[in-house]
């Protein structure tokens, strides 16, 4: 009889509800509603939720917590905030110390761009920049201009996605810049992790694309080139990832070190990042709409990158020669 009572008390104590993040979010949302007299928009509520969550999470050393935990906690907090603010939610709050931007080069389908902009709308972005080349249709132009909070740049002379992204990187002023495809297939949570990684010290946050293509012999040629390139630079852990595959994110330090104009040549920009002592790593495994086919220009780009690496690291890229005893020739 005594054992049963003790067991019941323990179960009851374990199930006792605490204040919770949703309750904290509700109080913050209600306070925000009172301060604004209920006149502010849903967009203003989203910004307020992001700022409040960042302050709260970073005070709790949120940057040291794992990404799944931060994602879960942020969603709970935001759900409470929307209820307290009496506004429709839609933003995925991320604890950020700096600002973030997204760059999209759009030359494809209108519906694909609309879906991508909708996904980006769920992220706490300071800027959203859409680059339109000459081949962009009038529907693409109308869509990007009608989207609130989007900066549209129309450059008729642009016919290359890499050059478009280089222009976007030069125009962005945020601390972290996320580069995505106009036919983006990644979720808002997957894209958010790229931003979070750069905000927490990573300079170049790459897409871990290798796991999506299985063994080496089944991968597209561009991924084989990238993986061999990483191997020769003694960065085996990066596998087939590079700046040739989207999405990826760059910190302000990376953009200043590499130079946004070099993004027009992804292998060259990637080499500059590796050799420039930047913190380069894998952020997340996000689906990519397309992996570029290898052409003469891309092969030449990797060849130039290898030449730059050999100039800096030597012909063997710092790998020791364990087969030849060149010291014997000096005697």
CATH code of the domain containing 277 = 3.90.550.10
In a domain? residue 152:
yes
CA-to-CA separations, 163 to 24, 168, 207, 223, 328, in angstroms, rounded: 45, 9, 20, 21, 50
| 3-state SS, residue 152 | strand
Alpha-carbon distance of 251 to 199, in angstroms, equals 8
Q: pLDDT digit string (tens) for 30-58?
A: 999 999 998 888 889 999 999 999 999 98
Structural domain span for residue 44: 20-85
Q: How many helices and strands (H and E) does the chain possess?
A: 12, 7
pLDDT band at 104 (very low <50, low <70, confident <90, very high): very high
In a domain? residue 24:
yes
In a domain? residue 181:
yes
**In sequence order, which residues have a C-beta less than 8 Å from that of residue 159 and are 6 or more positions away?**
133, 134, 135
Q: Into how many domains does the chain fold?
A: 2
CB atoms within 10 A of CB 31: 14
Q: Which of 46-50, 145-149, 201-205 has the lowest mean pLDDT?
A: 145-149
Residues 183 and 66 in one domain: no
In a domain? residue 9:
no
Residues 281 and 188 in one domain: yes
CB atoms within 10 A of CB 159: 12
Supply the pTM of this predicted model. 0.84
DSSP strands (E only) in 201-319: 204-207, 248-251, 280-284
Residues 31 and 117 in one domain: no
Q: pLDDT digit string (tens) for 276-295?
A: 889 999 999 998 865 655 55
């Amino acid at each position: 009889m005594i054992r049963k009572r003790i067991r019941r008390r323990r179960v009851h104590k374990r199930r006792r509800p605490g204040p919770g993040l949703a309750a904290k979010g509700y109080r913050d949302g209600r306070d925000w509603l009172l301060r604004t007299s209920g006149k502010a928009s849903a967009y203003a509520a989203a910004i307020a939720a992001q700022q409040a969550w960042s302050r709260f999470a970073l005070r709790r050393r949120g940057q040291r917590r794992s990404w799944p935990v931060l994602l879960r906690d942020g969603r709970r907090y935001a759900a409470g905030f929307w209820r307290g603010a009496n506004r429709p939610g839609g933003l995925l709050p991320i604890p950020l110390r700096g600002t973030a931007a997204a760059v999209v080069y759009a030359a494809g389908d209108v519906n694909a761009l609309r879906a991508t902009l909708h996904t980006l709308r769920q992220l706490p972005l300071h800027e959203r920049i859409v680059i339109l080349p000459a081949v962009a249709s009038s529907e693409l132009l109308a869509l990007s201009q009608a989207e609130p909070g989007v900066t549209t740049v129309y450059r008729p002379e642009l016919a290359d996605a890499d050059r478009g992204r280089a222009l976007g990187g030069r125009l962005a002023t945020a601390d972290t810049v996320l580069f995505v495809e106009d036919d983006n297939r990644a979720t808002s949570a997957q894209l958010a992790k790229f931003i979070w990684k750069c905000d927490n010290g990573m300079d170049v946050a790459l897409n871990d694309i290798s796991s999506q293509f299985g063994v080496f012999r089944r991968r597209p040629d561009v991924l084989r080139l990238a993986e061999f390139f990483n191997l020769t630079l003694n960065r085996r852990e990066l596998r087939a990832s590079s700046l040739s595959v989207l999405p990826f994110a760059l910190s302000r330090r990376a953009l200043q070190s590499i130079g946004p104009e070099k993004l027009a040549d992804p292998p060259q920009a990637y080499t500059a990042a590796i050799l420039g002592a930047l913190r380069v790593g894998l952020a997340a495994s996000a689906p990519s709409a397309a992996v570029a086919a290898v052409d003469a220009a891309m092969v030449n780009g990797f060849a130039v990158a290898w030449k730059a690496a050999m100039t800096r690291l030597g012909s063997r890229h710092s790998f020791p020669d364990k087969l030849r005893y060149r010291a014997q020739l000096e005697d």
